[in-house]
Amino acid sequence: MPALVLERKLELSIRELPLPDVLGPHDVRIAINTVGVCGSDVHYYQHGAIGPFVVREPMILGHEASGQVLEVGSAVTHLQAGDRVCMEPGIPDPNSKAARLGIYNLDPAVRFWATPPVHGCLTPSLIHPAAFTFKLPDNISYAEGAMVEPLAVGMHAANKAAIKPGDVAVVMGAGPIGMVTALAALAAGCSQIIMTDVQQPKLDLAATLGPITPVNIRQQNLVEVVHQLTGGWGADIVFEASGSERAIASVLDPLAPGGRVILIGLPGAPVPIDIVAASVKEARIDTIFRYAHVYPRALALMASGKINVKPLITDTYAFKDSIAAFEYATRMKPESIKVQIVLDESKNAS
Co-location of 231 and 313 in the same domain: no
pLDDT band at 20 (very low <50, low <70, confident <90, very high): confident
Co-location of 66 and 142 in the same domain: yes
- Which stretches of the chain are assigned E, i.e. beta strand? 2-8, 11-16, 27-36, 49-50, 53-54, 59-60, 64-72, 84-87, 90-91, 111-112, 125-129, 133-135, 168-172, 192-197, 212-216, 235-240, 255-263, 284-287, 313-318, 338-342
DSSP 137: P
pLDDT of 180 strictly over 60? yes
Look at residue 102 and tell me if it is in a domain: yes
Sign of the four-CA dihedral 35, 36, 41, 46: positive
Look at residue 165 and tell me if it is in a domain: yes
Co-location of 17 and 99 in the same domain: yes
* Secondary structure class of 203 (helix, strand, coil): helix
Write down the pTM of the prediction: 0.96
Look at residue 231 and tell me if it is in a domain: yes
Co-location of 188 and 243 in the same domain: yes
Co-location of 211 and 143 in the same domain: no
Co-location of 161 and 263 in the same domain: yes
C-beta separation of 307 from 22 below 8 A: no
C-beta separation of 153 from 53 below 8 A: no
Co-location of 97 and 26 in the same domain: yes
Co-location of 9 and 67 in the same domain: yes
- 74 backbone dihedrals φ, ψ, rounded to 5°: -65, -25
- Check which CATH number belongs to the domain holding 139 and give it: 3.90.180.10
Average pLDDT value over all residues in the chain? 96
Co-location of 181 and 111 in the same domain: no
Query: For the ranges 26-30, 144-148, 268-272, which has the lowest average pLDDT?
Result: 268-272
Co-location of 136 and 22 in the same domain: yes
pLDDT at 344: 81
pLDDT of 350 strictly over 50? no
Co-location of 129 and 11 in the same domain: yes
pLDDT at 311: 98
C-beta separation of 100 from 159 below 8 A: no
Look at residue 224 and tell me if it is in a domain: yes
Q: What is the pLDDT of residues 83-120, one digit of tens each?
A: 999 999 999 999 999 999 999 999 999 999 999 999 99
Domain coverage including residue 244? 153-287
pLDDT at 348: 55
Distance CA 300, CA 305 (A): 9
Q: Provide mean pLDDT across the span 139-161.
A: 98
Look at residue 24 and tell me if it is in a domain: yes
Co-location of 176 and 253 in the same domain: yes
Look at residue 298 and tell me if it is in a domain: no
Q: What is the pLDDT of residues 196-253, one digit of tens each?
A: 999 999 999 999 999 999 999 999 999 999 999 999 999 999 999 999 999 999 999 9
- Check which CATH number belongs to the domain holding 243 and give it: 3.40.50.720
Give the number of domains in the chain.
Answer: 2
